[in-house]
Amino acid sequence: MDNPIRTAQYHARMAERRRALRERLHGLLPADAHLVWELGCGHGHFLTAYAEAHPDQLCVGIDIVGDRIDRANRKRDRAHLANLHFLLAEGRLFLEELPAGARFAEVFILFPDPWPKLRHHKHRIVQPDFLAAVAQRAEPSARLCFRTDFAPYFEDAHATIDAHPDWRVVDEPWPFEQETVFQSRAPSYRSLVARPHPFSHKMRTAKSAGG
Ligand SMILES: C[S@@+](CC[C@H](N)C(=O)[O-])C[C@H]1O[C@@H](n2cnc3c(N)ncnc32)[C@H](O)[C@@H]1O
């Protein structure tokens, strides 16, 4: 049976984490921010290079491991990049706590944790509810870019994204190359690019315009 004190402590900790993230995001980002978002940025190799090459774009990388975010922030500081932020945050919580007007121009998910065992597949980040939440924040011209070295996850993500009402996989080149830590260790990998489904986007715009 659950210990009610520990459960209460857990909920209090989560509420505090949520509040701190909301405060941080609202202090950091313009209310109508157009973002390049990397989920699971690790040591920040990819997004630092991306932000350097795209000084006009605001980039935010998140990860749940503090040491990785510290290292990423040191890279950002060494490169003097004012258009780049690395934050300790969980992906779904980040989506929930972004300022209401913030939108994604690009989303990168590079070498996400593969969770190879069948009973752990539920922990994979690419799931229909996650894709719906990202689509709610995606500009009509946004790209969702996914790369993995674990072939079964690639097949699963491809099928899940392509079957999703908000997304379609497109035959477009990978927009920007920079080797990540996990990429450097991978013997091979596969990539996909997806765009918001135009029909679902129209529906969403019409719905929000109509109240
Ligand atoms: C396999 S590593 C890849 C890191 C980096 N993208 C690379 O290619 O070197 C996956 C990263 O995703 C982070 N991660 C896992 N689940 C996450 C979540 N729900 N939200 C944010 N980051 C997450 C992990 O902490 C880890 O740093």
pLDDT tens-digit map of 136-173: 999 999 999 999 999 999 999 999 999 999 999 999 99
Atom of ligand 1 nearest to the CA of 182: 9
Tell whether the torsion through CA atoms of 74, 177, 164 and 141 is positive or negative.
positive
In tens, the pLDDT along 171-189 reads 999 999 999 999 999 999 9
Domain 4-210: give its CATH superfamily: Vaccinia Virus protein VP39 (3.40.50.150)
Domain positions in the chain are 4-210
113 tagged catalytic: yes
- In SS3 terms, 112-159 reads as CCCCCCHHHHHHCCCCHHHHHHHHHCEEEEEEEEEEECCHHHHHHHHH
**Residue 61 region by backbone torsions, left for phi larger than 0, else alpha for psi between -120 and 50, else beta:** beta
CB of 151 closer than 6 angstroms to any ligand 1 atom: no
Cβ(147)–Cβ(175) below 8 Å: no
Q: What angle do CA 173, 156, 130 make, to 5 degrees?
A: 85
Q: Which of 2, 56, 77, 113 is catalytic?
A: 113
Q: Which of 113, 124, 185 to mutate to test the pocket of ligand 1 (most atoms within 8 A of CB)?
A: 113
> What does the pLDDT look like over 23-56, one tens digit per residue?
999 999 999 999 999 999 999 999 999 999 999 9
35 CA distance to ligand 1 middle (Å): 19
